[in-house]
Structure 1
Amino acid sequence: MSTYKNFQNFLQEELANIQSAGLYKNERIITSPQSAEIRVSTGQNVLNFCANNYLGLSDNQELIDAAKQALDTHGYGMSSVRFICGTQDIHKELEAAITKFFGTEDSILYAACFDANGGVFEPLLNEQDAIISDSLNHASIIDGVRLCKAVRYRYANADMADLEKQLQLAQSQRFRLIVTDGVFSMDGNVAPLDKIYELAQKYNAMIMIDESHSAGVVGKTGRGTTELFNLRGKAEIITGTLGKAFGGAIGGFTTGKKEIIDMLRQRSRPYLFSNSIPPAIAAAGIKMFELIERTNELQDTLHSNTAYFVEKLTAAGFDIKPTQSAICAVMLYDAKLSQDMASKLLDEGIYVTGFYYPVVPKEQARIRVQISAAHKKEHLDKCIAAFTKIGKELGII
């Protein structure tokens, strides 16, 4: 029997086990632009409550027009990495816009935030240093830390007593970097950045925040956790994405202290060995920052929508994780139940996804509802009514 035949049998058995455990992930196909209301491949029109389209910009006409214009003026793709011949004026303009938005010193673009997080640690830290990471940080942070030789410490999610303990243990290292998500994507809670900053000052540590789910969302004007806690410019490193609130396409970035960004340009492997984002994406990103600088209407609408939805679903009797973001984790605990409920909600015209192991811990299955500024009150009311109906049918409430 060939090597692959043995491996094929192994994979088939593993996949069968995943399916029998109710953990197999099926992709549902959208045939329309990403929006509050979408069309799926069955022809059904449904309300989308599971996208990261927090500001409703994924189908924004100003962004689409900017992208179309850039295709004419700057072409389709870069065909090179940045330091050879893959940098255009609009890449630099977008980096400047990111820097201004977050109140930092400089910024660097990546193809995705996964690359930003994967490429940030190894160029900056070595075996003499320490990384102190929140236990619920995104997988891209975990993978990035693995690529670095720094000594690793981990603290329980948002647990400041545990963080202080780990900082005390890390005092023998040269440099210390505390790493946290701004918003933890499965629960929706915001990192207590004010307390993290106090401990960083006390124990001579730097701070890195992944603002992927908080940028555009958290803080009065959506400038993330540093705005929320009045700490703009205080964190040494911020990473984030253009693929969620900021238009929903693709592209990541690291922004922060000038020397850090400069070192990343010299040594960050995902930056040095991958093309940058296409011109159309860069142009749309520039237009997006122009738009949200003009008005705070989208952030205000998002915050209002989220408060309304959480209040109504809690009143209906659902177990919801405390949230300070646009993420509402409706806890069901059982993996199969989360899939059954998501399927029944789709029949009601509500598009959501059940999350279960290994995306979340075992017996912590949930439906993660994500609110958008694009949702109208009638959208929210229809979703609340559907959750209530199916929740009663399945004995959840």
Structure 2
Amino acid sequence: MLETTLQRRLEERRSLSRYRQRREIQSAQTSRLSLNGREFLQFCSNDYLGIANHPKLIQAMQDAAAQFGVGSGASHLVCGHSSLHHQLENRLADITGRERALLFSTGYMANLGVIAGLLGKGDQVLEDRLNHASLLDGGLLSGARFQRFQHNNLEDLERRLMTLPEQGERLIVVDAVFSMDGDMAPLPELAKLAQRYDASLMADDAHGFGVLGNTGAGSAEFFGLSQRELPILMGTLGKGLGSYGAFVAGSETLIESLIQFARPYIYTTAMPPAVAAATLAGLDLLQTEAWRREHLQSLIGYFKAQAASLGFNVMPSDTAIQPLMVGGEAEAMAISAELERRGILVTAIRPPTVPVGSSRLRITLSAAHSTADIDQLLAALCEILPEAGA
């Protein structure tokens, strides 16, 4: 019975052009990827600073593996919390301007751990409709009353805050940079609303940390928000930092509470110490190679200007995520397939990840790209979409 039901669901997804498939990459993450014996120019990685294959990260991981071994052996609370983990947490707290930071194995686990660990029955959680799935799942699993407000709509959020009961905790949760649209949450205004209505603000800075701000410390630095204004800051290490894992930064009380109550932290084996060492090397590069952020910002401006001049329907975004709106699932898949035939990888994003009728090509830029790479992509799109080209 289950097998039949699953087969029917799979066939339905195929018929809707929503079937997902994995690729087997045979090379390191750079602007070029090896796939099935061919080299592709890719615009689908989140390696925003182009350091996932940096020699210093590789060397740091190798050296740490020689000293600490491969596996961490246990959870952080048993015997898996190494000196490298602790050093990384201290560095992350310092860089983000927070009292402490806590490592999680993935961003998904961090978001589940924070929301479900801090809230429960009788509490209130309000989330942006376009939040990442992990944030939405955290809200649903917490047991708190869960509401979703219209995307970046402060008026809708305030209307909801005004009607909340007085008792219980209140948590506003947003993506700092929205992963499928590339736009940013109005964090300063959200912080003011949170303070006005006695709520706490949490931001998932997965796509901002390492990229935004004068030093790459992310959206909190970009907007100049203190720990008091943005008390719960989550960031990932597998995007801008080129490594793996995630962290939550905030007050001493917040971090100690997560250590005690965040089940995805308590009951998960710690990341390998060698991964923490590679991330520390990535943080070094963040501080010594500011040109990577500057080059990425230059590429973003160049892409936006060129795409606008060609008439492409690129969604408003000032970040490395530049979505080209298509509409239908089948059309988005066809364009992605034609780009692949021409040696360019760009992922087609379809429902249920995005709303029906808003399928798109999610073009992501990296400091590893050049303007010539962007020109190659745009030239191919002009040929594939002549109605949108010059």
Same fold (TM over 0.5): yes
Gaps of 5+ in 1: 1-5
CA shift at 1:177, angstroms? 1.2
1:381-396 superposed matches below 5 A:
381-392=375-386, 395-396=387-388
Cα deviation, residue 123, structure 1 = 2.4
**What is the identity, as a one-letter code, of the residue corresponding to 2:336?**
A
**1:117 matches 2:107:** no
Report the equivalent of 1:3: none
Q: 2:199 aligns with which of 183, 193, 205?
A: 205
Cα distance between partner residues in 2 of 1:215 and 1:180: 15
Which of 28, 34, 44 is 1:33 aligned to? 28
**Structure 1 equivalent of residue 255 of structure 2:** 261
> Which of 4, 19, 22 is matched with 1:24 structurally?
19
Contact kept, 8 Å, 1:102 with 1:232, in 2: the verdict is no
Conserved 8 A contact 1:236-1:257: yes
Where in structure 2 are the equivalents of 1:1-397 lying within 5 Å?
A: 6-41=1-36, 43-233=37-227, 234-247=229-242, 249-392=243-386, 395-397=387-389
Is the contact made by 2:244 and 2:279 (CA closer than 8 Å) also made in structure 1?
Answer: no
8 Å CA contact retained: 1:187, 1:329: yes
Deviation at 1:8, TM superposition (A): 1.2
Contact kept? 1:111, 1:252, Cα under 8 Å? yes
- Cα distance in 1 for residues equivalent to 2:94 and 2:17: 46
Alignment RMSD, CA only? Answer: 1.3
d(CA) in 2 for partners of 1:264 and 1:104? 15
Take 2:381 and 2:240, find their aligned partners in 1: how far apart are those partners?
Answer: 25
Shift of 1:263: 0.7
User: Residue deviations 1:264-313, cap 9 Å, x none?
Assistant: 11121111111111011000011111111123111111111111011111
Letter in 2 for 1:100: D
Q: With the length of structure 2 as denominator, give the TM-score of the two structures.
A: 0.97
Superposed CA deviations along residues 318-345 of structure 1, whole A, max 9, x for unmatched, are: 1111102110010000101101000111
Moved over 6 A (4+): none
Opposite residue 130 of structure 2, the aligned amino acid is: L
Partners of 1:132 and 1:152 within 8 A in 2 = yes
CA contact (8 A) 1:214 1:224 kept: yes
Aligned residues of 2:101 and 2:250 also touching (Cα < 8 A):
yes
Shift of 1:362: 0.5
Identity of aligned residues (%): 35
Contact 1:110–1:271 under 8 Å retained in 2:
yes
Query: Residue 244 of structure 1 aligns to a residue in which SS?
Result: coil
Aligned-residue offset at 1:127 = 2.2
**1:220 positional shift:** 3.3
What is the DSSP-based 3-state SS (H/G/I as helix, E as strand, rest coil) of the residue aligned with 1:178? Answer: strand
Shift of 1:396: 4.8
- 1:136–1:157 contact (8 Å) kept in structure 2: yes
Check conservation: 2:339, 2:345, Cα contact below 8 A: yes
C-alpha distance in 1 between matches for 2:15 and 2:271: 40
Cα deviation digits, residues 76-119 of structure 1 (max 9, x gap) = 11111111111110000010111111111111111101000011
Distance of 2:248 and 2:155 partners within structure 1: 28
